[in-house]
Structure 1
Amino acid sequence: MLSIATWNVNSIKSRLQHLTDWLRSDNAPDIVLLQEIKVVNENFPAMEIEELGYNIAVHGQKTYNGVAILSKHPIDDVVTTLPGEPEDEQARYIEAVISLDGGAVRVASIYVPNGQAVDSDKFQYKMRFFDRLYAHAQTLLAHEEKLVWGGDYNVGPYPEDVYDTKKLDGTVCYHADERAKFRALTHLGLYDAWRLKNPSTQQFSWWDYRGGSYAQNRGLRIDHLLLSPQAVDVLSECVIDESLRQLEKPSDHTPVICTLDA
C-alpha cells in the first residue's frame, strides 16, 4: 500500500509544527506533495523533515509559490520546469520518480495560479498554465506508467465542488473556462481520484479564513489528485482529511490523500 497526499500548506514556516506532527503520526503518508511553501530552497526546513525519514525535493521561491515532494522512498529524476513558457520564473511545478520495491510511480506537485480576476492578465496566465499542463500530460501519459499529479488546481470542477454555484458562477475558481481546462485534463486520461471514489459526495478542501467559512462549511474542492489509468487500476481509496484544518492557526487548505495498492 502506498499513500500519497497533496497539501497546500500556505507557508511551510507557519505550518511546520502541523506538518511534522502529521508526518510522525500513525497515518503519515508515504509521499506528500506540498504547495505554497513560500521559501527559497536553502530556507526549506529540510533537517526537521529528514529526521522523520523523508527524502525531499524542493522548488522554492521567496515569499510566494513554491512546491515540494516529500517521500519515504527514494526520489529520482527531479524536474522543476513545466514546458511551454521558458521565461516563467514562478515556482509552481516539481516532478519526480519515486522508486518502490518492484516498481515506481511518477508524481508531481502542482500549484496552479489563482487567476485573481477574470478580466486580468493573471487569469490569462492561469489559462496558459492549464494549456502547458495539458501538453505535458500528453507526453507523460504516453509512457503508460503510474502517474499521480497532486496539487492546488484552483478550480472546483463540478457544481458539487463549491458551496454556492449561483453566487460563484463566473468567478475565479469556478469560471466556465477554468472548469473546461480541468475537464480537458480528465478527458485526456487523468482521473480525479477523489471524485472517482466519492461520486456523489460534497466535501471541500479549502475554506476562506474570513467570515467563519470553515464553521459554516462555505468551501471549495480545489485540491486534486489526478491519476493515470495505470494508477487508477491500483487505487483503493481517496479521502479529504479535515483534521489539519481544525487545528489552531491552520492552512486554509486541508490534505487530500489517495492510497494505491502499489
Structure 2
Amino acid sequence: MRLATWNVNSIRARSEDVVAWMARHEIDVLAMQETKCSDDQFPVMSFIAHGYDVAFHGTGGYNGVAIASRIGLDDVHKGFDGQPQFDGTSEARAISASCGGVRVWSLYVPNGRAPGDPHLDYKLEWLDTLSGVMQLELTHDPAAQIALAGDWNVAPTDADVWDPEYFAERTHTSEAERAAFDAFSEAGYLDSAGPFTPGPGTYTFWDYTAGRFAKNEGMRIDFALCSPALDDRVHDAFVDVAARAAKGASDHAPLVLDVSSD
C-alpha cells in the first residue's frame, strides 16, 4: 500500500492536479485536508475517472477533509466521539474509513491562530479529546492497523521549523501544543515517516509569502502517526517537495508512506 497525506488547499481548484499526481506516484490511499468545499461541491468525478472511491466531509469555508482510495473505502465516519465545537459549530476536520485493512484518518487540526486566541484553546481541547479516543482504540485492540494522517498544525521539535526564534512567540511550537502532540506517542502512535525523512531542513509546509519556499524556510507539520502494528509495516517514506514547486501548487507538500503487505 502506498499511503499519502496532503493539505491540498482547495480541492476544487486543484482536483485534476491532485489525481494526476496520485496516478503518477501510484498512490493507493490519499488523505486530504483543507478541501474548502461543501459536500455537494466536491469534485467526485475527477477521482472516479481515475479509479478512486472518495469520501468527504466539508461545509465550505477553510475546513474540509477527504479520503480517496483505490483499494477499498468502507465504514466511513465523519468526526470523532466528543469532538469539540468552536462557537457552537462542529467543524469538518476529521474523517475516517477502512482502506485495505487499515483504518485511515484524515485530520485537519485547528490552527490556533495566535497565543491567547480562543482558537488555541479550541485546538488544545480538540487534540486532547482525539488523543483520548485514539488511546482507547489501541487499548481495545493493540493489533489495530490505524493511520492518523493529516495537517497537524504542530511542529513538534525545533528541528521542524526553519528558525526556532522566529516561532518563539507564535503558535505551532508552544509547549502546550507540543505536549498535546506528544500525547499521541504516549498513547502508542509513532511518527512512521520520521526515520525516512530526517531533519533539520525537511519540511512539509512553506508559506506563500516572503519567498519562503525558495529559501526553504518551512515547517514540518504534516504527519502520519501510525499504530504499532501498522508502523511495523512502513518500509519507506518521502516528502514530495516537487509537488510544492509546481505551478499553482498548495503551500503544503504531500507526505508519502510505503506500507508492506501484512
Which bracket does the TM-score occupy, shorter chain normalised? Answer: over 0.9
Aligned residue for 1:116? 113
- Partners of 2:10 and 2:199 lie apart in 1 by 32
2:128 to 125, 128, 131: 131
Matching residue of 1:61:
59
Gaps of 5+ in 1: none
Separation in structure 1 between the aligned mates of residue 207 and residue 198 of structure 2, nearest angstrom: 25
The DSSP-based 3-state class of the residue aligned with 1:205 is coil
Q: TM-score, normalised by structure 1?
A: 0.94
Query: In the TM superposition, what is the alpha-carbon distance from 1:201 to its structure 2 partner?
Result: 4.7
Q: Does structure 2 conserve the Cα–Cα contact (< 8 Å) formed by 1:18 and 1:244? A: no
Aligned-residue offset at 1:13: 1.3
Give unpaired runs (5+ residues) of structure 2.
none
TM-score, length basis structure 2: 0.94
Q: Check conservation: 1:170, 1:176, Cα contact below 8 A.
A: no
Shift of 1:196: 2.9
Alpha-carbon displacement from aligned partner over 1:79-121 (angstroms, at most 9, x marks no partner): 10222246542000001111x3xxx111100000000111011
Q: Deviations over 1:107-149 (max 9, x none)?
A: 1000000001110110000000111111111122232211111
Number of residue pairs matched by the alignment? 256
Equivalent residue for 1:107?
104
Q: 2 CA distance for matches of 1:188 and 1:134?
A: 7
Please list, as runs of the form range in 1=range in 2, the aligned pairs for 1:29-44 lying within 5 A after superposition.
29-44=27-42
1:78-117 mapped onto 2 (5 Å cutoff): 78-85=76-83, 87=85, 88-98=89-99, 100=100, 104-117=101-114
1:24 match: secondary structure: helix
Deviations 1:146-177 (A, max 9, x none): 11110000011011100001221241111111
How many angstroms apart in 2 are the aligned matches of 1:70 and 1:186? Answer: 26
Question: Which residue of 2 is the match for residue 260 of structure 1?
Answer: 259
Q: What is the rounded CA distance, in whole Å, between the counterparts of 1:151 and 1:64 in structure 2?
A: 15
Pairs within 5 Å for 1:111-260 = 111-142=108-139, 143=141, 144-260=143-259
- Superposed CA deviations along residues 39-60 of structure 1, whole A, max 9, x for unmatched, are 1111111011111010111111
Task: Give percent identity, aligned residues only.
Answer: 35
User: Could you give the per-residue CA deviations for residues 55-88 of structure 1, whole angstroms, max 9, x where no partner exists?
Assistant: 1111111122000000001111111022224654
The one-letter amino acid of 1:61's match is T
Distance 2:54 2:218 in 1: 30
Q: Tell me the secondary structure at the aligned position of residue 65 of structure 1.
A: coil
Inter-partner Cα distance in structure 1 for 2:196 and 2:84: 37
- How far the C-alpha of 1:261 sits from its partner, in A, is 0.4
Question: Whole-Å Cα distance in 2 between the matches of residues 257 and 201 of structure 1?
Answer: 18
Aligned to 1:9: 8
Displacement over 2 Å in runs of 4+: 85-88, 196-202
The residue type equivalent to 1:125 in the other structure is: Y
Please tell me whether the aligned partners of residues 38 and 63 of structure 1 are also in contact (alpha carbons under 8 angstroms).
Answer: yes
Contact 2:84 2:126 in 1 (8 A): no
**Amino acid of the structure 1 residue aligned with 2:60:** K
Contact kept in structure 2, 1:23 and 1:52, CA below 8 Å: no
